[in-house]
Amino acid sequence: MPDFQLSDYLMLEDAIFDEDTYSSQSTASPEKGMAAATEFSGAISKNTSNIKSKNRVGKNKSELGFRVAFRMKSETEVIDDGYKWRKYGKKSIKNSPNPRNYYKCSSGGCNVKKRIERDINDKSYVITTYEGVHNHETPSMLYYNQMSLMAPNAWALQASPPPT
DNA sequence: CGACTTTGACCAGCGC
DNA sequence: GCGCTGGTCAAAGTCG
């Protein structure tokens, strides 16, 4: 279980990455990794309806639906958010000493992508950008649902509920 | 043996 | 038109 905190998340209508934008929109900071994963998975699906996005500035290619970026404190770039991701690329970015990694959801028929890169200013933070909407449940959510039915008390002890 | 990662090449968009 | 840059592809390698 990676040790990370969900620090900020923002919805992107354009490909604008501005520090003021994401530092001014702060949300809850769940303490447990699994809780954080559940939290932002929910945030994605809750916000899909009112977001229209452009894939690139000046290019209206929106078949993926929308884009959302998270900035979270994490030791590792690889964040287990409950989905299975397949890495398909890595690129050194200008103005950043850190390479950017490209992942696709490896579930069949689901072409959600995510980009992961370290924060330029604070290397203890990782910026994760999701593109698209999953057309399936996260495997861990299915597992969670099953476990909740079988042993709700056991899970209540391990996963703290998201703060309201 | 299948699924996944790595990594260089390729391609398209954008600015000059 | 050309070069730069970001994003994707695909072959080869690795791992369980």
pLDDT given for residue A50 in this prediction = 38
Nucleotide nearest to A102 (CA to C1'): C7
The rounded Cα A128 to chain-centroid distance in angstroms is 6
pLDDT given for residue A118 in this prediction = 84
Asked if A102 contacts A77 with a C-beta cutoff of 8 angstroms, the reply is no
- As given in the structure block, the two tokens for residue A115 are 């980009």
Q: Estimate in Å the CA A89 to C1' B11 gap, whole number.
A: 14
Q: Estimate in Å the CA A25 to C1' B10 gap, whole number.
A: 38
The span from the CA of A27 to the CA of A30, in Å, is 9
Q: Nearest to residue A10, comparing CAs of A52, A73, A71, A92?
A: A71
pLDDT given for residue A101 in this prediction = 92
Nucleotides of strand B lying closer than 7 angstroms to a protein CB: 3-9, 13-15
pLDDT given for residue A5 in this prediction = 61
pLDDT given for residue A70 in this prediction = 77
Nucleotide nearest to A117 (CA to C1'): C6
Q: Are strands A113-118 and A99-105 parallel, antiparallel or unpaired?
A: antiparallel
> What is the mean pLDDT, run by run of 10 residues, along chain A of 164 residues?
56 42 39 46 44 36 62 69 84 85 81 84 81 68 51 44 46
